[in-house]
Structure 1
Amino acid sequence: MEQKDEIIYIKRILEGEINLFSYFLDRYSHPIYSLIIQIVSCREDAEELVQDSFIKAFRKLDTYKGDCSFSTWLYRIAYNTAISATRKQKKESFFIDEKIIESVSDDEADDILSSSENEDRIKKLELALIQLNPDERALITLFYNEDKSIDELATIFKLTSSNVKVKLHRTRKKLCVLINNQ
């Protein structure tokens, strides 16, 4: 379904056909769960936060203006919901010296997520992803798993496109360091 069709559904929902919201639940539950589980790392918490995100979206549906895709708007709600939950938990994050991150070559950093053919490499990548902070995991998940564009990420994270590119690049370098230190 295209954005214009989703906008028609939204108008109909706002006019009282609330059963149509099930389309959005069916269409976006899995991608939203994929994002949230990367942030909170607990299946039960992620399932609850997915529900919370859809409830918030339903309640705020009248604020959707159509200036971005509905999925981007929904991802923004889900991201904020998950990040708020992690802030309450105060998880410990790993510190990596800035000099070590900067010592990783651009080629090595760019290659880190594209060369995951063997099982050992995939396991190392999964372990490294867990060590990233929630923002970094969300950014990597949305860009690589959900194929969100730089502009969509900028909207979701409320950053400029340039900042998103820098954060992606730095996060790839950080992943490289984490993988190589396992």
Structure 2
Amino acid sequence: MDKNSDQIYIDKVLQGDTNAFAYLINKYKDMAYTIAIKIVKSHEDAEEVAQDSFLKAYEKLDSFKGNSKFSTWLYTIVYRNSITKIRKKKVATSDIDDYVMDNYSEGSDFPQIEAIKNGEQQKYVREAINRLPEKDAILITLFYMNESSIEEIEQITNLTQTNIKVKLFRARKKLNTELSLLLKEEVKTIL
């Protein structure tokens, strides 16, 4: 019955009765906000995402085919807008990290990575890499073990070069911590 009542209002909107969309907004605004807040974790951002999602749904209402419930279609828009909002915030955050990336030379802050060359030491490095989160381990492995360039990693991962540099910088810090835990006193001799 909900699907039919939604369709009645959708048809009214498509026929030019823009006020009919208010019914759909009032019916689904709470769940749209709930979905957004679970993802973006900010009340202001969740409100913005919900509003943008309703606007997008209104603008694209003619593309709603009715293969699913209107709510499913709308919540998909909310979900995707929420993910986009998070990605945009992460890009803004990585801009702050650009200063860090511009003011370090690769390996200079982590000489133990550069110093580890022989078999016994490589065993510790591999073990430390295995302890890293999967994405960090992949970047470290590609860059140091496979000697892939930032450009090659960009093609493999679909991440931007700036994002790769930031993530690689952070992964090296984590690797440094893992190596310190593994090697304890041996790290001091490597340094």
Higher relative contact order, chain-length normalized (CA < 8 Å, sep 6+): 1
Which structure has the larger Rg? 2
Higher helix share: 2
